[in-house]
Chains A and B, each alone.
Chain A
Amino acid sequence: MTTLESFTKITPAESAPRGLIGGAPAAYAEPKAERKYRREPGFPVPILIAPATIWLIIFLFLPLISIFVFSFWKSTGHGMTPAFTLQHYRDFFVTEGFFDPKQPDFLTPSVFIRTLWTTFRFTITVMAICLVLAYPLAYFLSMQVQDFKWQLALFLLAMVPFWTSYLIRAVAWLPMLGRHGLINEFLVSIGAVDEPVSFFLYSEFSYTMALVQLYVVLAVGPIFFSLAKIDRTLLEAARDMGATPFQIFREIIAPLSLPGVAIGMIFVFVMIMGEFATAVVVYGGKTSTTGTVILNYYAIANYPFAAVNAFMLMVAMMIGVVVILRLVDIRKEL
C-alpha cells in the first residue's frame, strides 16, 4: 500500500451511511480553530471600495439628488433660490388654458409632456429596430461562427464604432442622406425615383437611421454574450430528439437569450431617452427631445424648470426599465 492510498483510505466510521438508516454519522470536526487565527486573505474591503464609493457619491448621487431638490426651488430669472414650490411641476403638466373649457384645445397636453412622449415614442421605435437588427447578428456570431478566434475578431469588428465619437458618426450621415447624398444618387441611378427625394435628411427617417446606427452595437453585445453562454449539449440533445431548427430556437435559444435581450434593450432605452445632440445634427433641430429641453432651460438660467424636466425624464426611464425587468428576469445574467 502506497502512502497516498493510506491517506485516502476511508475509515469505517466515515464510510458508514450518514442518513436515516445505519450507523450514526461520523462526528465532523469544524475547522474552527483554523479560522480563528487565519484572517481573511487579501486587502481589507473598506480600503478597496472607499475611493470609488466616495467618487460615486460626489459625482453620481449628489448630482441626481440635486436635480430632485432644485426642481422645487424658485426660479429668479437669472438663477434660483431655495424654496418649496410646485410651480415648475405645474408648468410641466399644465399649459395656459388647460382644462379651461373656453379654450379650443383645452385637453391638449403641455408641450413638455408631448416632448417627453415623442422622446419615448422614438426610443421605442429605435429599440425595436435595434433588436431586429442585432439579434440575427449576435446569433450569427455566437452560433454559426465556430472558431473562437474568428468569433472574437468579427465581434470586435462590429463593436469598434462604439469606441469612436458618436457626434462624428452622426455627422457622417449628412453625405449619405442629403438631396445629393449617396442614397439619392443611388435611387436616381437605378431609376427608382425621377429626382432626388428630400425626405431622407432632416426628417424622422434620418433621425431613426442615425440613432439605430449609433446604438445598435449596444444591443449586439449583451445578446451575443447570453447566446454564447447557452450550453451546446442542450441543442445537441434537442436535435437528437428530432426537434426542427425552428423548434430549437423557440424552445431553447429564445428563452435562454432573453436576459441578454433585456439588458441590451435597457442599454438602448436609457441611451436614447437621454439623447439630445443627434436630433440637432440629422433632424436639423426640427424636433426637440426632453434632453434638448433640459439644456435650453439651463441655457436661459431657468434651472428649476430644467430640473423638473430632468426629473420627469428619470421617472419615465425608471418606468421603462422596470417594465423591461418585469418582463424578463435578468438576475441570472448578473
Chain B
Amino acid sequence: MARSTPEHRRKARVKAGFSVYYVIFLIFVYGPMFAMFTLSFQGPRGGVTFPMRGLSFYWWEKLTGPSAVGDLKSSLVRSLVLAIVVMLITALFSTMLAMAFRKRFRGSGALFYAVMAGLMVPGVLLSLGLASLLRVVGIPPGWWYSGLGVHVVWTLPFGFLVMMAVFNRFDSRLEEAARDMGADEWTVFKEVTLPLITPGIVAAGLFGFTLSYDEFARTTLLSGGQNTLPLDINASLTQRVQPTLFALGTASTLFSLLMIGLFIVIYTILYRRSR
C-alpha cells in the first residue's frame, strides 16, 4: 500500500492498542454479568460459583414458583407502573422546562442548578429527609407518591439535558414561519414543534423509565412497606445467596436491555420521520 509510511503504521498500532483496551473495558463492565447469566442455569445441586454442576432451568423455575423471594410478581408490577409514570412525568417536565429555557427569564440560573441538584444529591439523603418529614407530618410513605416524587427528582436532570440539547439544534424559523402564517401557539406547537422534538422526548422518557425501574437508594425508606423490585432484590441479599438471585438478576437485566433496545428502535424510526 502506498499509505504504509512509518507514520501510518505507528498510528495503526496506537489505534489497535486503544481498540484492545476498549475490549478489555467491555469485559470488565460486562464480564461479571455474563458470569451471573451463566450461573443462573446452574444444576439443582450447584452453588453460586463455578464450576457448573449440570445445566438446568431449576433456579429459573424456582424464581417463577410460589416459594420465590418475597412477592416478586406484585413488586414487579409496582416497579413497572412506577417506571411508566416516572417516564411520562420526566418527558413532560423536561420538555416544558427546556421550552422555558429557550427564552431568558428571571431566576433561570437558579432553576437550572435546582434541576441539576437532583443529579447531585445522593438518594440516601432524599430518602432520609422525605421519610422523616412524612413521619413528622403523620403521612405514611408510599411508593406511588413519595417514591414517585424522588424518582422524578433523579430522572428529571437527564431528560432536561436531553431536551436542552434538542432545542439547541432547533431551527426556530420553522415556528416563526408558522406564526407568520397566522397559527396560534397551540397549533404551532402541535404541528411544527412537537413532531420535530418527539425523538428527544422519547430519549428523555428512556432515561425516566430505566433509571426509575432500577432505582434502589431513593425508594429505600419511601416505599411504605410495599416493595419495588430493586427493594425485593436487596431484601433477598440479606438471606443466603442462591442461584435464584442470579436468575432474577438475569431476568431484570435482560428486561432493561430489552427496554433500551425498544427505545432505540422507536427513537430511530421517529428520528427518520422527523427529518
Interface residue SS majority, chain B? helix
Measured between beta carbons, the chain B residues less than 8 angstroms from A64 are 121, 125-126, 129
Task: List B231-255 residues whose CB lies under 8 Å from chain A.
Answer: 233-234, 237-238, 241, 245-246, 248-249, 252-253
Q: Is A241 an interface residue (CB 8 A)?
A: no
Our pick among A52, A61, A182, A213 for the contact of B93 (Cβ within 8 Å) is: A52
Q: Min CB distance, A110 to chain B, in Å?
A: 20
* CB <8 Å contact, A158 and B237: no
Chain A residue nearest to B118 in the complex (CB): A60
Q: Is B185 an interface residue (CB 8 A)?
A: yes
The residue among A168, A176, A266, A277 with the most chain B CB atoms within 10 A of its own CB is: A168
Q: Min CB distance, B190 to chain A, in Å?
A: 12
Task: List A171-198 residues whose CB lies under 8 Å from chain B.
Answer: 171-176, 178-182, 185
Q: Is B133 an interface residue (CB 8 A)?
A: yes
* CB <8 Å contact, B35 and A182: yes
Measured between beta carbons, the chain B residues less than 8 angstroms from A334 are 112
Measured between beta carbons, the chain B residues less than 8 angstroms from A271 are 122
Q: Is B221 an interface residue (CB 8 A)?
A: yes
Task: List A291-310 residues whose CB lies under 8 Å from chain B.
Answer: 291, 294-295, 298, 303, 306-307, 310
Our pick among A163, A273, A307 for the contact of B122 (Cβ within 8 Å) is: A273
Chain B residue nearest to A57 in the complex (CB): B114
* CB <8 Å contact, A168 and B252: yes
| Chain B window 95-133, contacts with chain A (Cβ cutoff 8 Å), 1 for yes, 0 for no | 011011011010000011011011111111110111111
Q: Min CB distance, B152 to chain A, in Å?
A: 6
Q: Is A41 an interface residue (CB 8 A)?
A: yes
* CB <8 Å contact, A163 and B210: yes
Chain A residue nearest to B172 in the complex (CB): A41
* CB <8 Å contact, A49 and B129: no
Measured between beta carbons, the chain A residues less than 8 angstroms from B153 are 55-56, 59-60
The residue among B18, B156, B176, B257 with the most chain A CB atoms within 10 A of its own CB is: B18
Among A92-100, A136-144, A228-236, A252-260, the stretch in contact with B: A136-144
Chain A residue nearest to B90 in the complex (CB): A52
Task: List 13 contacting pairs A-B, 8 Å CB cutoff, sorted by A.
Answer: A41-B175, A45-B105, A51-B96, A63-B126, A67-B128, A133-B25, A144-B15, A164-B257, A171-B237, A267-B119, A307-B132, A310-B124, A314-B125
Q: Is A313 an interface residue (CB 8 A)?
A: yes
* CB <8 Å contact, A176 and B124: no
A312 to B126, CA, bound (A): 14
* CB <8 Å contact, B149 and A41: no
Among B55-63, B69-77, B194-202, B211-219, the stretch in contact with A: B211-219
Measured between beta carbons, the chain B residues less than 8 angstroms from A213 are 28-29, 32
Measured between beta carbons, the chain A residues less than 8 angstroms from B39 are 175
* CB <8 Å contact, B128 and A310: yes
